[in-house]
Amino acid sequence: MSNSITMFKKDLFYKSLKQAFVKLNPKSMFRNPVMFTVWIGTFIMLIVSIATLFGVKEQGSFAYNVAVFLTLFLTLLFANFAEAIAEARGKAQADSLRKTRQETPAKLQNGSVVSSAELQKGDVFICESGDIIPSDGEIIEGLATIDESAITGESAPVIREAGGDKSSVTGGTKVLSDKIVVQVTTQPGESFLDKMITLVEGASRQKTPNEIALTILLAGFTLVFIIVCITLKPFADYANVSITIASFISLFVCLIPTTIGGLLSAIGIAGMDRALRANVITKSGKAVETAGDIDVLLLDKTGTITIGNRKATHFYPANAIDEKTLIRAAVLSSMADETPEGKSILELAGINPLSYEVKNPVFIKFTAETRSSGIDYENTRIRKGATDAIKGLVLTAGNQFPLEVENRVKEISQNGGTPLVVSENEKALGVIELQDIVKPGIQERFERLRKMGIKTVMVTGDNPLTAKFIAEKAGVDDFIAEAKPEDKMNYIKREQSEGRLVAMMGDGTNDAPALAQADVGVAMNSGTQAAKEAGNMVDLDNDPTKLIEVVEIGKQLLMTRGTLTTFSIANDVAKYFAIIPALFITAIPALQGLNVMKLHSPESAILAAVIFNAIIIPLLIPLALKGVAYKPIGASALLRRNLLIYGLGGVLVPFVGIKLIDMVLSIFF
């Protein structure tokens, strides 16, 4: 996916400029109360300009009125252009995705070939090396190397296989090796790529709660200044001052927060666009915005905090148990274990399990409930799993759980390893040690989150001792050990009940309930369909640490909106000093003291303020689209910095800008 779309591309610029005129439709303008009032003022100024052309003298000169009309018209165009350029960037991204989507032949299991458009949910197709995957689905048989660069932009191929949490494939990607059997999980037109295109285009974008609240606030400001301008008329009559319609409208437009009113939609659209550039598809702008307010972050240990695959490093037999007996039981219990841990046990043992020639084996799969797996054959029952699960089996059968095994489990856990206890016929044989490696630099990432005021929680299926060791080593604030799906969801509910916003990342079907419950749920693109449906974001890169970046994007969105609102409101201060003296300075000479900018004339002062009010919008478009730079320095420090830069800057910049414009206008007025 292209990430290099800028507002300065020629075709993008012209498309946006055209849309800026299209958006002048009153039905479109009505959605933005602030700019709609500017639209009304512009329409009135058009009528006034025509009236002065035909000899109405009391409303000022024709040239002056036309200048005000054109400036207000440009204000509307600039505001519309800001929204249009943000939307156009999304549409350009959508066009690149459309090139990925194509009618692809699908080979069904029965040997027939149909178009990808004819595939229905539940159909099963086969893909071999070189084939384009025709539709979204779950691999039900086989393993393959897949090129997902058309979707993610990442050139490195990935491995997808049946079973586990890496079984999902996306239509439009290419099989590079091997053969897979895939079951379709979506109806035609509802594929992941179709949804991406709709979301990226902004067709389904709705205003977020924060954006709605700010719109209401700006509408309130607008209403207040309508009343201010109306009540100014009796004061002018009392002072025997004649104020033209152009002056009233100019004052009103300059007082209301037109800058943020014109940029508000662009900021929201750009927030979703920045998430897309980070290869995160968001199902709504609300998800991005909520990420900026997150209080608690749930992260899986494996693959996020640790390197990923735990490896077996030692076999520790119980007293009076031969090591070969323990190894034999460990190998047989891992015979059908497709997990990286199970494979590493066979690798450490260096024995082919088929060499034991067991008859009529029945394999017991690992489940979140039993937290153990194994094999039954003849009169033998072998299990390997979490300590308390195997201990429960042993004690339930009336056998003793060896003290040396318990001590070894504690020792492994305290050293940051994961112990797997092996039993045969409900008798403990010993322990297998698995080791995790904490990712380098992860501590610094968690420190950044801590500075943002975010509590980090590690979620793991490990026992509490192991979980505690890894949590302390990684620097997380809390952990959930021996986590079952309901444990994650209950933890999220408890935090939410105390008024906190919670984010979570997951890729498995067992993560779906927690992803749905979390305020921000980020699903892996490689994960199961259930996880992707449950979350409100999908990470195309399958990077478990992407949540940290998502949080920063959310905070940047909120900061950008807040700082530009501050700048917009602060702007009004200078405009007071330009327009108010200009209106009354002839009748009330004492107001000359307020003319701190020493503006040339009332006409040039008013026009300079209106022109500055217009041109500041396009000047701030790049900032609205790029976002204000974010640093994790704490809320109070951020507030101080933004008030200093954008608050003070919003007051000082208009003084300079209006004065410079007035100097140019003094030639004509």
Quote the strand ranges of 460-553, DSSP E. 478-480, 502-506, 520-524, 537-539
Task: Spell out a b/e string for 410-440, using b for 16 or more CB atoms within 10 Å of the CB, else e.
Answer: eebbeebbbbbbbbbeebbbbbbbbbbebbe
Hey, what are 161's tokens? 């296989």
Q: How far apart are CA 140 and CA 138, in angstroms?
A: 6
Do the annotations mark residue 366 as ligand-binding? yes
Do the annotations mark residue 370 as ligand-binding? yes
Contacts of 505 (CB under 8 A, 6+ apart): 298, 299, 300, 304, 521, 522, 523, 524, 539, 544, 546, 547
Contacts of 391 (CB under 8 A, 6+ apart): 401, 421, 428
Hey, what are 641's tokens? 């910095």
Do the annotations mark residue 179 as ligand-binding? no
Q: How far apart are CA 567 and CA 652, in angstroms?
A: 10
Q: How far apart are CA 386 and CA 202, in angstroms?
A: 47
Hey, what are 71's tokens? 């400036």
CB atoms within 10 A of CB 545: 17
Do the annotations mark residue 6 as ligand-binding? no
Q: How far apart are CA 469 and CA 312, in angstroms?
A: 18
Strand order in the sheet with 362-364: 311-317, 427-435, 417-424, 380-385, 372-377, 362-364
User: Are 390 and 422 a contacting pair, CB within 8 Å?
Assistant: yes
Contacts of 167 (CB under 8 A, 6+ apart): 138, 139, 140, 160, 161, 528
Q: Is 376 a catalytic residue?
A: no
Task: Tell me the Cα Rg of the chain.
Answer: 33
Bridge partners (DSSP) listed for residue 434: 312, 418
Q: How far apart are CA 387 and CA 421, in angstroms?
A: 6
Q: How far apart are CA 275 and CA 557, in angstroms?
A: 10
Chain-centre distance of CA 302, in angstroms? 22
Amino acid at 607: L
Do the annotations mark residue 572 as ligand-binding? no
User: Are 299 and 459 a contacting pair, CB within 8 Å?
Assistant: yes
User: Are 159 and 139 a contacting pair, CB within 8 Å?
Assistant: no
Do the annotations mark residue 341 as ligand-binding? yes
The DSSP letter of residue 357 is -
User: Are 545 and 445 a contacting pair, CB within 8 Å?
Assistant: yes
The DSSP letter of residue 368 is T
CA dihedral 88, 93, 97, 98 (to 10 degrees): 20
Strand order in the sheet with 520-524: 280-282, 537-539, 520-524, 502-506, 296-300, 455-459, 478-480
Hey, what are 318's tokens? 């119980």
Q: How far apart are CA 274 and CA 605, in angstroms?
A: 39
Closest residue by Cα to residue 535 from 563, 506, 561: 506
Query: Which of these is catalytic: 136, 147, 273, 300?
Result: 300
Q: How far apart are CA 532 and CA 508, in angstroms?
A: 9
Do the annotations mark residue 560 as ligand-binding? no
Could you list the residues known to form a binding site for ATP, using ranges: 337, 341, 366-373, 384
Catalytic positions, please? Answer: 300
Could you list the residues known to form a binding site for Mg(2+), using ranges: 507, 511
Could you list the residues known to form a binding site, using ranges: 337, 341, 366-373, 384, 507, 511
